[in-house]
Structure formats: C-alpha cells, structure tokens
C-alpha cells in the first residue's frame, strides 16, 4: 500500500507500505501514538516521553528532544522518525533523515493539531481512531467555549523558565491556549519565548508558573510575588497548555478546574 503525504512543513514523504517501526522524538506525539493504538509500533522515544508511564520501559531511550543518539536509533531500524519543528532543531532532523523518512509537525492552534492527528491516521492506517480523537477534542473545546464565554479576561503572564526568566509570548501554541482561556498575555507583543528582566508589574492579574520545561515549585511563588504584587500566582500543568495531541481531551476539563480555583 503506497502512501504519500506532506508533513506540516509541506515536505513530501513516501512509503511503499505502512510504517511499522516508529521513533518518536516528541513527548506529546508519543502519547498520541499510544492513544491511536500504536504503542506496539514504537521502538524509540525520548527520556521526556512520560505518558503512558511505562512507555520508556518497553522501548529504547534515544536521547532528549534537543540531543539524540543516532547510534541508538540506527539499530532500531525505524521506518519513520516523528519530529516537531519547535522541539527538534534542524541538525536533529538532518541526522534523522540519514536514517529514514522524517515527519515534522508544526503546531500553532487546534486546526494544526487536528491535521497532525489525521496525518498519523493516514500514515499508520488508523483513520477511524484519529477521527474519533478529533471528535472528542472538538466536543471538549466546544463545551469549554460555552463555559468560558462570560468569564472575565485576565491580564496574564506564563513563565516557562527561571534564570533566565522566560515567558511564552505570541506565535506559540501556549499563547493560543491562553487566548482560549481568556488569559490576555501581557507579552503578546513579543514573539516566541523571550527572556525578560523581572520588574514590578502592577497590571498583571494572573501569573502562571508552568510545570515544564522548568519544574516550578511552590517556593517560586514567593520569589515571583514581589514583582507581581496584585496578581494571583498559580502553579499550572504545562502539559495542558503545550501538549497538542490527545492530551487536549483532558486539557479543557483542566482549564475549567483552573478557572474554578482562581
């Protein structure tokens, strides 16, 4: 069964048959593969692939998202390596393309997420399951849109790193998810993930400290509070704001819970 598809960078990839040996270099995509029923096809993952919890014990760990070990990947004889433009740099993609076909995702909003899920459905002959997952996400997103409709906008900051202090700004999936939550990003005029100097910001109403990639803890709330004296400081689940696969089914329920606890 010949398969030809363009990935989300519009690169054409071709297969003579359904790829059956998968290396995933993106945690949220690893979870999506498993939810599509493809766990048995996965032969390699990153050390950050934590959902499902047992996946790292059943596959080979081939590195992180920013550094990989091709000496571990090659013996796995993968048919396809799954990457993401933001998570995996060009050098990693170039290395992977010396081994086999590479599919690259590029996600900015829900429509991009749906497209990626459909791509995997086509690539791995899981079209029906892919549409089922998309349908579930659409339902949760629709319910959340109704829920959030009359909630107030909150001027917000979303931290992803400490020393240097780094926030999520425009042109990111996190910023898109903030918009859905009516969390107005104070740094929406900046792009991607700018480093900032902490200073007193009296207009911020909500400051979110993400659980990833930097693992913010309760102790950091006191550290940040003096710079945002009028804001509520919250530890938030970074997976819910940044994972764009099947995790989205759970994300909108989490966002409801988050609003209820503001």
Structure confidence by residue, pLDDT tens digits, 221-262: 999 999 999 999 999 999 999 999 999 999 999 999 999 999
Asked if residue 117 has pLDDT above 90, the reply is: yes
Taking all residues of the chain, what is their mean pLDDT, rounded to a whole number?
A: 96
Q: What is the pLDDT of residue 146?
A: 98
pLDDT at 32: 98
Q: Is the model's pLDDT at 201 over the cut of 90?
A: no
Q: Cα-Cα-Cα-Cα dihedral of 51, 53, 56, 62, to 10°?
A: 30
Measured at the CA of 28, the angle between CA 24 and CA 34, to 5 degrees, comes to 70
Residue 202: pLDDT band by 50, 70, 90 thresholds? confident
Reply yes or no on whether the pLDDT at 158 is more than 90.
Answer: yes
The two tokens of residue 21 are 């040996």
Neighbours of 197 (CB within 10 A): 7
| Other C-beta atoms lying within 10 Å of the C-beta of residue 51 | 18
User: Residue 1: its pLDDT value, please?
Assistant: 81
List, in order of start, the domains of the chain with CATH numbers. 3-125 (3.40.50.1980), 149-260 (3.40.50.1980)
The model's pTM: 0.95
Helices (H), the chain: 27-35, 55-58, 70-73, 90-97, 110-123, 127-148, 173-180, 218-225, 238-242, 248-260
Which pLDDT band, with edges at 50, 70 and 90, does 139 fall under? very high
Contact status, residue 24 vs residue 41, Cβ threshold 8 Å: no
Q: What is the DSSP letter of 149?
A: T
- Assess contact for 193 and 260: CB atoms under 8 A: no
Each residue of 168-182: pLDDT tens digit? Answer: 999 999 999 999 999
Percent of the chain scored above 70 by pLDDT? 100
pLDDT band at 137 (very low <50, low <70, confident <90, very high): very high
């Amino acid at each position: 069964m010949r398969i030809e598809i363009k990935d989300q960078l519009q690169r054409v990839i071709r297969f003579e048959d359904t790829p059956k040996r998968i290396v995933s270099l993106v945690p949220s995509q690893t979870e999506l593969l498993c939810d599509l029923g493809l766990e048995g096809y996965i032969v390699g993952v990153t050390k950050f692939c934590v959902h499902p919890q047992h996946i790292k014990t059943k596959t080979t760990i081939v590195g992180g998202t920013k550094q990989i070990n091709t000496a571990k990947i090659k013996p796995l004889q993968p048919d396809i390596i799954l990457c993401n433009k933001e998570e995996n740099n060009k050098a990693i993609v170039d290395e992977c393309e010396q081994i086999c076909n590479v599919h690259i995702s590029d996600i900015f909003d829900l429509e991009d997420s749906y497209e990626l899920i459909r791509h995997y459905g086509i690539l791995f002959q899981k079209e029906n399951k892919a549409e089922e997952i998309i349908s579930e996400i659409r339902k949760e997103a629709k319910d959340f849109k109704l829920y959030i409709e009359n909630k107030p906008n909150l001027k917000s900051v979303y931290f992803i790193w400490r020393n240097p202090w780094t926030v999520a700004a425009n042109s990111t999936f996190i910023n898109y998810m903030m918009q859905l939550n009516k969390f107005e990003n104070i740094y929406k005029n900046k792009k991607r993930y700018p480093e900032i100097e902490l200073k007193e910001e009296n207009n911020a109403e909500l400051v979110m400290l993400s659980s990833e990639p930097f693992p913010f803890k309760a102790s950091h709330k006191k550290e940040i509070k003096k710079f945002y004296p009028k804001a509520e400081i919250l530890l938030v689940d970074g997976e819910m704001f940044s994972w764009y696969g099947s995790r989205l089914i759970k994300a909108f329920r989490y966002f409801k819970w988050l609003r209820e606890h503001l």
